[in-house]
């Protein structure tokens, strides 16, 4: 009888792909196992790529994070960043793990480092805002004095990311995913719009609390109307509910990442909460979209003079 041929061991690229497939289907433990095997196979190669190895550690860190194993996630991100410095995904994963472990200072540093690389990362902006609030509550106004050093990201790293973005193919829209939530009916949209207009009329009269209630009702009918969130944020600013204003601007910016009103009003709220760095970040984002925005330039100068 002919001898049974030995099965050829899988390459690290095949193992990585299997890990990716497991991750996508929520099999995080299996994904971790496949990434571990891929790491071993890649390390055996005499001339292995440090960047590819760093990506594998980062992938395994993502699986650990999803599985709730935050300590292992941090360890893998540390290794990934040694091999592939300033990898944004590793920074964000480590930040999320630190946050889950209530290591808010370390999380803040990672979120801020990621924003140096790409100032348009919504997750990093949101994380910075959360950490600022948590650290202010824990350490008071002088919380920045207790932070670890925030590393300076070399210009070459930012240039490389810009080149990668320029070369990347346009994103493919997943229509199935977009239609998971049913869109509001025409009648709901009209009702939501009418309630928003009632809120706008109350704002003009200076009745901001009543306007908030109208905007609340409007969003029940049409929850994706960005101007309702920015209008309600304005009302929250007027009644000094600054954290609520930030939350509404966060939602608005998830719908429209370059919304001028959302960026400006979130910056205003951050200024009132003494979140100076986050305020400056938002104003700089705004000025990239609209460089001659007088109100933003004025607020930025005012905030920087107080630093």
Per-residue pLDDT, 55: 95
14-26: buried (b, 16+ CB within 10 Å) or exposed (e) per residue?
ebbebbbebbeee
User: For residue range 136-164, what is the model confidence (pLDDT) as tens digits?
Assistant: 999 998 999 999 998 888 888 777 776 66
Out of 1.25.40.10, 3.40.1050.10, 1.10.8.290, 3.50.50.60, select the CATH number for domain 12-148: 1.25.40.10
| Amino acid 115: pLDDT | 87
Indicate the CATH number of 184-306 among 3.30.70.3040, 1.25.40.10, 3.40.50.620, 3.30.470.160.
1.25.40.10
Model pLDDT, residue 183: 66
Q: What's the mean pLDDT when you consider all of the chain?
A: 87
| Residues 6+ positions from 45 with CB-CB distance below 8 Å | 12
Within the chain, all domains assigned CATH 1.25.40.10 are found at: 12-148, 184-306
The structure's pTM equals 0.56
pLDDT for 84 equals 92
Residues 91-124: pLDDT tens digits? 999 999 999 999 999 999 999 999 888 888 888 8
What share of the chain has pLDDT > 90, as a percent?
Answer: 55
Q: Give dist(CA 239, CA 262) in Å, integer.
A: 17
Neighbours of 257 (CB within 10 A): 15
């Amino acid at each position: 009888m002919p001898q049974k041929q030995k099965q050829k061991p899988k390459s690290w690229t095949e193992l990585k792909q299997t890990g990716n497939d497991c991750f996508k289907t929520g099999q995080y433990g299996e994904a971790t196992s496949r990434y571990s095997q891929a790491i071993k196979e890649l390390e055996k190669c005499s001339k292995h790529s440090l960047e590819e190895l760093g990506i594998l550690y980062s992938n395994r860190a993502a699986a650990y994070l999803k599985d709730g194993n935050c300590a292992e996630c941090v360890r893998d991100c540390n290794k990934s960043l040694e091999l592939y410095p300033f990898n944004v995904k590793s920074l964000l994963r480590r930040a999320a793990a630190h946050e889950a472990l209530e290591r808010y200072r370390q999380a803040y540093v990672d979120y801020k480092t990621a924003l140096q690389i790409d100032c348009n990362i919504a997750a990093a902006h949101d994380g910075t805002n959360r950490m600022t609030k948590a650290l202010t509550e824990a350490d008071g106004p002088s919380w920045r004095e207790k932070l670890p050093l925030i590393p300076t990201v070399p210009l070459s790293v930012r240039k490389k990311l810009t080149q990668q973005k320029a070369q990347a193919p346009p994103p493919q829209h997943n229509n199935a995913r977009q239609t998971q939530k049913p869109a509001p009916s025409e009648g709901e949209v009209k009702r939501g719009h009418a309630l928003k207009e009632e809120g706008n009329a109350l704002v003009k009269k200076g009745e901001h609390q009543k306007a908030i209630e109208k905007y609340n009702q409007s969003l029940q009918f049409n929850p994706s109307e960005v101007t309702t969130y920015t209008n309600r944020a304005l009302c929250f600013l007027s009644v000094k509910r600054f954290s609520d204003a930030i939350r509404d601007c966060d939602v608005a910016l998830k719908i429209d990442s370059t919304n001028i009103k959302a960026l400006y009003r979130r910056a205003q709220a951050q200024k009132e909460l003494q979140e100076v760095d986050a305020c400056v970040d938002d104003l700089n984002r705004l000025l990239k979209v609209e460089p001659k925005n007088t109100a933003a330039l004025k607020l930025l100068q005012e905030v920087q003079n107080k630093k």
